[in-house]
Amino acid sequence: MLDWLREKHQTERAIRRFWNQVLVSAVNEDLDRMAASHGFQVFWLGFLARADAYEMGIPAVPLGDLYGSAGWERIPNVRFHPRAPVERVCADQGAIGGVMAAGEKRSADYYVSALPVERLSAVIPELDLDLRSFEHSPITGVHLWFDRSITELPHATLLDRTVQWMFNKSGGRYLQLVVSASRTLVEMPRAEVIALALRELAEFFPMAKEAKLEKAHVVKEIRATFSARPGLEQLRPLSATKFRNLFLAGDWTRSGWPPIMEGAVRSGYLAAEAVTRAAGDERKFLLPDIA
């Protein structure tokens, strides 16, 4: 992506303050490591496709409420088995015969695996997928609680800093700071990450210098997404596998989108469509793109 931007005569300032700020956060990868196709897609769908393409939906309730088990109770024949990690997928003669989980074999007509890329080969090596080219890109979140409000802005971007985005979570007293592709922070001690975040925050919000920090929390998601580098797209597997009743989902599969939550959701729809085709009752679940 960086090569393309320079070929199009974008200035270093424009790259740093505009393209970088948007794309690194959207794709979770640095511009010099990012496949240009992903950058094109983000800007086409998010800026250019329609006059309202920039609009996004924001959940009115916590994600735990959206995706918690209680929300599934209205759907019949759905069962959750918590604390039952999958130990082995049992393959036999071109089909899956069951899944060993917590010492118990569970069987079904069709199976969908949404395991992360680094776990798949361990539970079903018979897939024979070459996943060695997949690398991870981290995301770091810094949560800060102050004794007073330091801003009324709902969110902001911090230019030319390590911290990329600020989200006001509660009245300006609880802020979440986000750093995508945060390789420089992976080995940094927690106290240093917090000090860095406070220092950069105070440059944009002077009240942070006067406020007392009551609590801080650092979350380093080392394997947040895979690295969306050039040449990897053709290696992302489709939903269907060599086994007639096993299908794959996950942001790392070939969803048509970068390795983001939206891509993960699309992969689930695509896997569900593949199941209906295999069952002889083909259906469509994936909504069309905005363009």
To 10 degrees, what angle do helices 36-43 and 20-27 make? 100
| Residue 56 half-sphere exposure toward CB, CA atoms < 13 A | 7
Residue at 156: amino acid letter: A
Stretch (H or E) spanning 146: strand 136-146
The predicted pLDDT at position 291 comes to 57
Q: Looking at domain 138-226, which of 1.10.1060.10, 3.90.660.10, 3.30.70.920, 3.40.50.960 is its CATH number? A: 3.90.660.10
What is the number of other CB atoms lying within 10 angstroms of the CB of residue 29? 25
This model's pTM is above 0.75: yes
Rg over alpha carbons for the chain, rounded to the nearest Å, is 22
Q: In what order do the strands lie in the sheet with 155-157?
A: 155-157, 165-170, 174-180, 136-146, 213-226
Rounded CA-CA distance 78/81 in Å is 10
Backbone dihedral angles phi then psi of residue 284, each to the nearest 5 degrees: -115, 130
The predicted pLDDT at position 60 comes to 85
Do the Cβ atoms of 97 and 88 come closer than 8 Å?
Answer: no
Q: Write down the residue that tokens 């080219």 correspond to.
A: 133
Q: Where in the chain is the domain with CATH 3.90.660.10?
A: 138-226
Task: Give the pairing of strands 136-146 and 174-180.
Answer: antiparallel
What CATH class is the domain 81-134+230-278?
alpha beta
The predicted pLDDT at position 125 comes to 92
Rounded CA-CA distance 20/35 in Å is 13
**CA nearest to 160, candidates 5, 10, 20, 1:** 20
Rounded CA-CA distance 3/5 in Å is 6
Q: Where in the chain is the domain with CATH 3.50.50.60?
A: 81-134+230-278
Q: Write down the residue that tokens 């069309």 correspond to.
A: 288
Mean pLDDT by 10 residues, the chain (291 residues): 97 96 95 96 89 84 81 84 92 93 94 94 91 94 97 95 95 97 97 97 95 97 94 93 96 91 93 97 89 57
